[in-house]
Amino acid sequence: MVGLSEGEKHFIRGGIAQDIRTDGRRRLQFRALSVETGVIPQANGSARVRLGATEIIASVKAELGKPSILHPDKGKVSIFVDCSPTAEPTFEGRGSEELSTELSVALQRCLLGGKSGAGAAIDLSSLIVVEGKVCWDLYVDGLVVSSDGNLLDALAAAIKVALSDTGIPKVNVSLSAASDEEPEVDVSDEEFLQFDTSSVPVIITLTKVGRHYIVDATSEEESQMSSAVSVSVNRNGQVCGLTKRGGAGLDPSVIFDMISVAKHVSQQFIAHLDSKISAAEAEAAAE
């Protein structure tokens, strides 16, 4: 919990009202973004993303599995979040477990359309090897290394970068004559298919402080919020998911306005993130 004096609280709220935040940003301006790829060699894909003083490491592990009975033509993606106790004093003990669960559920909702995977923003059909029999299961892990607000947006960005770094091994399938038998698969150690992240959205959280809302809130700014709405938006400007936190209710007209702002801001953020990914990939290739 951020401990602030009444003067500091007034200063934060007053700055937001005047569109000059304590760090000099405007209300709809993000902090500095940095991206690294391939930070975990054992993973199929990994990334480190820093958004101001918030730092996330994301990794992707691909394993062969069996499609679910309800979705025989789709692979599976599981998202897990862990909050390092060193990232924030409140992360020690049960505080970390509760926040990790909350963030995991929010990411599932915004990126996968919930636990079922229905309406997923990530293309699960691309993970199928043999319909109804063999698919790729992607295990996505996000680690909060350092926390200074806006964890959900930073986690989603790190996952998007890690997926862009993910190579899925090429699989050769030998189908047996009997359709009920399990097919034989040969997983290549040398040939990989790049995971397509063109449809993977970003998450933009609009945090309401007083009568105004801001993007990329710091921990101090979040301590003054009445509510926050997180909207996942893809590069086509389509809304893929939405989640709200904070006890204060919001008028539907305000939510629609927040979605409209999130869609506008998301396109700038996606373009910025794409350029950072390209630069990181070029740097990794040069090493």
**pLDDT mean across residues, the chain:** 87
Q: Is residue 119 part of a domain?
A: yes
**Residue 86's pLDDT is what?**
77
Q: Is residue 109 part of a domain?
A: yes
- Helices 151-164 and 94-112: crossing angle in degrees, nearest 10, is 60
Q: Is residue 113 part of a domain?
A: yes
**Residue 180's pLDDT is what?**
65
Q: Is residue 136 part of a domain?
A: yes
Q: Is residue 218 part of a domain?
A: yes
**Residue 2's pLDDT is what?**
61
Q: Is residue 90 part of a domain?
A: yes
Whether the per-residue pLDDT at 178 is higher than 60: the answer is no
**Residue 170's pLDDT is what?**
87
Residue 102: give its domain's CATH number. Answer: 3.30.230.70
Whether the per-residue pLDDT at 99 is higher than 60: the answer is yes
Q: Is residue 159 part of a domain?
A: yes
Question: How many domains does the chain divide into?
Answer: 1
Please give the average per-residue pLDDT across 59-66, as a whole number.
93
Conformational region of residue 68, where left means phi above 0, alpha means psi within -120 to 50, and beta covers everything else: beta
Domain that holds residue 141: 6-285
pLDDT band for position 169 (50/70/90)? confident
Q: Is residue 1 part of a domain?
A: no
Whether the per-residue pLDDT at 115 is higher than 60: the answer is no
**Residue 132's pLDDT is what?**
87
For every residue of 57-121, DSSP letters joined together read EEEEEEEEE---SS-TT--EEEEEEEE-TTT-GGGSTHHHHHHHHHHHHHHHHHHHSSTT-TT-S
Q: Which of 25-34, 166-175, 232-241, 277-286 has the highest mean pLDDT?
A: 25-34
